[in-house]
Amino acid sequence: MPQALAVCKHSCCGNTHDLVRFSPASPAIDQHTTDRHARQMTLFSFDSYHVLLAGTGMVIIAAHWLPRFISGREPAASALLVLLGMAAFFIPGMPQAPNPLTQPYPWELLAEWCVIIGLFATGLRIDKVGSFIRFLPTIRLLSVAMPLTILALAIVGWQFAGMTLAGALLLGAVLAPTDPVLAGDVQVGPPQEGGEHPVRYALTTEAGLNDGLAFPFVHLGILFASAGVLTWDMAGEWLLRDVIWRIALGGLAGVAAGWLLGRVLFYWPRNNPLARTQTGIIALAGVLVAYGGAELVEGYGFIAAFVAGVVLRRQEQDDEYHLRLHDFAEAVEHALTAVLLVALGAAFPALWPYLDWPHALIGLALIFIIRPVIGWCSLYRTGLAWRPRAVIAFYGVRGIGSVYYLAYAGHNVELVNEEALWATVAFTILLSTLVHGLTAGIAVERVTARNLDPADDPASRA
Q: What is the pLDDT of residues 393-407, one digit of tens each?
A: 999 999 999 999 999
* Separation of alpha carbons 276 and 68, rounded Å: 37
CATH of the domain at 198: 1.20.1530.20
**Comparison of pLDDT for 96 and 112, the residue scoring more:** 112
For residue 264, being part of any structural domain is answered with yes
Q: What is the chain's alpha carbon radius of gyration, rounded to the nearest angstrom?
A: 25
Residues 9 and 148 in one domain: no
Most confident of 30-34, 221-225, 364-368: 364-368
Q: For the chain, report the end-to-end CA distance as a whole number of angstroms.
A: 94
Q: At residue 7, does pLDDT exceed 70?
A: no
Chain center to CA of 383: 31
Q: At residue 15, does pLDDT exceed 80?
A: no
Q: At residue 336, does pLDDT exceed 60?
A: yes
Residues 190 and 288 in one domain: yes
Q: What pLDDT does 458 receive?
A: 54
Mean pLDDT for 307-318 is 94
**Comparison of pLDDT for 453 and 411, the residue scoring more:** 411
Q: What pLDDT does 459 receive?
A: 52
Residues 154 and 275 in one domain: yes
Residues 366 and 435 in one domain: yes
Q: What pLDDT does 71 receive?
A: 66
Q: What pLDDT does 173 receive?
A: 96
Helices and strands: H and E segment counts in the chain = 19, 2
Cα torsion through 396, 368, 375, 180, rounded to 10: -10
For residue 287, being part of any structural domain is answered with yes
Q: At residue 452, does pLDDT exceed 60?
A: no
Q: Assign 16 a pLDDT band (cuts: 50, 70, 90).
A: very low
Find the domain containing 13 and state its range.
4-45
Most confident of 6-20, 294-308, 406-420: 294-308
Could you tell me which residues come within 8 angstroms of residue 349 by beta carbon, excluding any fewer than 6 positions away?
Answer: 86, 89
Q: What pLDDT does 442 receive?
A: 85
Task: Give the global pTM.
Answer: 0.87
Q: What pLDDT does 67 receive?
A: 83
Q: Assign 34 a pLDDT band (cuts: 50, 70, 90).
A: low
Q: Do the bridges between strand 4-9 and strand 16-22 make them parallel or antiparallel, or are there none, so unpaired?
A: antiparallel
Q: What pLDDT does 380 receive?
A: 95
* Three-state secondary structure call for residue 6: strand
For residue 194, being part of any structural domain is answered with yes
**Comparison of pLDDT for 29 and 307, the residue scoring more:** 307
* Separation of alpha carbons 407 and 96, rounded Å: 18
Residues 33 and 111 in one domain: no
Closest CA to 348 of 167, 110, 163, 85: 85
Kindly list the distances between the CA atom of residue 263 and the CA atoms of 51, 258, 285, 320, 442, in Å, as whole numbers in the listed order: 46, 9, 14, 16, 40
Q: DSSP letters of 322-340?
A: HHHHHHHHHHHHHHHHHHH
Q: What pLDDT does 435 receive?
A: 93
Q: At residue 346, does pLDDT exceed 70?
A: yes
For residue 424, being part of any structural domain is answered with yes
User: Percent of the chain beyond pLDDT 70?
Assistant: 86
Could you tell me which residues come within 8 angstroms of residue 14 by beta carbon, excluding any fewer than 6 positions away?
Answer: none
pLDDT in tens, 368-386: 999 999 999 999 999 999 9
For residue 412, being part of any structural domain is answered with yes
Residues 164 and 254 in one domain: yes
Q: What pLDDT does 449 receive?
A: 81
Residues 246 and 390 in one domain: yes
Q: What pLDDT does 456 receive?
A: 47
CB 426 within 8 A of CB 352: no
Residues 302 and 381 in one domain: yes
For residue 92, being part of any structural domain is answered with no
CB 321 within 8 A of CB 278: yes
* Separation of alpha carbons 365 and 52, rounded Å: 35
**Comparison of pLDDT for 291 and 195, the residue scoring more:** 291
pLDDT in tens, 351-365: 999 999 999 999 999
For residue 184, being part of any structural domain is answered with yes
User: Percent of the chain beyond pLDDT 90?
Assistant: 66
Mean pLDDT of the chain, nearest integer: 86
Chain center to CA of 6: 46
**One-letter amino acid for residue 397 of the chain:** V
Residues 163 and 302 in one domain: yes
Length of the chain as a residue count: 462
Closest CA to 327 of 177, 148, 158, 190: 190
Closest CA to 329 of 75, 187, 120, 60: 120
Residues 25 and 116 in one domain: no
For residue 112, being part of any structural domain is answered with yes
Residues 25 and 157 in one domain: no
Neighbours of 432 (CB within 10 A): 28
* Three-state secondary structure call for residue 320: coil
Cα torsion through 165, 167, 171, 172, rounded to 10: 20
* Separation of alpha carbons 109 and 70, rounded Å: 34
Q: At residue 243, does pLDDT exceed 60?
A: yes
Q: At residue 25, does pLDDT exceed 70?
A: no
**Comparison of pLDDT for 35 and 91, the residue scoring more:** 91
Mean pLDDT for 235-247 is 95
Q: Considering Cα of 169, then 171, then 174, then 179, what sign does the dihedral take?
A: negative
pLDDT in tens, 68-80: 877 656 667 899 9
Mean pLDDT for 415-438 is 93
Domains: count for the chain: 2
Q: Assign 155 a pLDDT band (cuts: 50, 70, 90).
A: very high
**One-letter amino acid for residue 85 of the chain:** G
Neighbours of 407 (CB within 10 A): 24
Residues 252 and 127 in one domain: yes
Mean pLDDT for 123-132 is 89
